[in-house]
Amino acid sequence: MENNQITLSIRNVSKTYANGVKALNNISLDIPSGMYGLLGPNGAGKSTLMRTLATLQDPDEGDIILGEINVVKQKEEVRQTLGYLPQEFGLYPKAKAEDLLDYFAVLKGITNWASRKEVVEALLKQTNLWDVRRQKLGGFSGGMKQRFGVAVALLGNPKLLIVDEPTAGLDPAERVRFLNLLSELGENSIVILSTHIVEDVSELCTRMAIISKGQILQQGEPLNAIEELQGMIWRRIVEKSMLPALEQEYKVISTKLLSGRTVVHVYSEENPGNGFELVPPDLEDVYFTTMAGYNQKQVMLQEREVQL
């Protein structure tokens, strides 16, 4: 069987806005086919990188290569094989789903009526919107609108699909439905999921990067990153009033409320004692440890990889 897999190579990409904000600072990533998670807080530079990959803005410096296409210099070629679902996108509320998708298909160059009818029907079924195809988009729920956005993004069978913060604001059932849809898409395409929600990456992505303040702090496979933290994450349930003292004494990476009390996770290579118990790490622990800069071994490895 022919291997249609493609790779996206990002090398030394930087972007500073006119107001002086350095949104991307010497970013380098290799993104293979499949689901790739770009994880970071709001304002980390995720949307700037997504807009740059989607040819909506140029980097100040650096190279981006998709397969054999230079993304910065060959924008039209990129757009022919790109699907982009931005964080916020406008829809015509009075248009019916089937009619608007058909209109977008024409814009995408699918001019033959029979071919277009087939594509529109297949995409509405794939995104589980076939039964509501004659409904107006203004009456769609948040999850239905997001799935319609994916249907539009999938027109033309893109090799690169970018989805920016797709599950923010969705209720739990819609989020699951949406993630199930995305998980089906990453076989012969690159699907980049940009999000601040750790669970989205944990459930979907075979590879990931953590970005903060325009810099890549860590990249690799989530399972390997979790394995790196084995034996280093400790938990204790405390009264909220104890938190300031614990933060002074330990490397606290996260806190959560549980029935009025606070669950504290700390990073420590040795048993911290004082009532802490060892717990298996998860991707949330990886994220918070990396963001706090405690996982220095991983950061140093990452810096060495970029230099090589």
pLDDT tens column, 3-16: 567 899 999 999 99
pLDDT tens-digit readout, 148-179: 988 898 898 899 999 888 887 788 888 888 88
Look at 73-87, 179-193, 198-212 and tell me which has the smallest mean pLDDT. Answer: 179-193
pLDDT confidence of 132, banded at 50, 70, 90? very high
Domains of the chain: 8-220 (3.40.50.300), 230-294 (no CATH)
With pLDDT > 70 as the criterion, what percentage of the chain qualifies? 94
Res 304 pLDDT > 50: no
Provide mean pLDDT across the span 135-142. 90
Residue 302 pLDDT > 60: no
Q: Would the pLDDT of 271 be above 90?
A: yes
More confident residue, 83 or 306: 83
Asked if residue 202 lies in contact with residue 35, where contact means CB atoms within 8 angstroms, the answer is: no
Confidence of residue 70 (pLDDT cuts 50, 70, 90): very high
* pLDDT for residue 297: 47
pLDDT at 308: 38
State the pLDDT at residue 4: 64
For the residues 240-249, what does the mean pLDDT come to? 91
In this prediction the pTM is: 0.86
Neighbours of 228 (CB within 10 A): 18
Average pLDDT of the chain is 88
298: pLDDT confidence band, cut at 50, 70 and 90?
A: very low
- End-to-end Cα separation, the chain, in angstroms: 34
Longest distance between any two alpha carbons in the chain, whole Å: 71
In this predicted structure, what is the pLDDT of residue 231? 95
Average pLDDT over residues 225-233: 94
Query: pLDDT value at position 5?
Result: 78
Residue 89 has pLDDT above 90, yes or no: no
18-32, 163-177, 240-254: which has the minimum mean pLDDT?
163-177
pLDDT score of 50:
93
For the segment 23-47, the average pLDDT, to the nearest whole number, is 93
Closest CA to 283 of 68, 37, 52, 64: 37
| Structure tokens, 191 | 């699907």
**Can you tell me the mean pLDDT for 266-290?**
95
Per the model's pLDDT, the better-predicted residue between 279 and 204 turns out to be 279
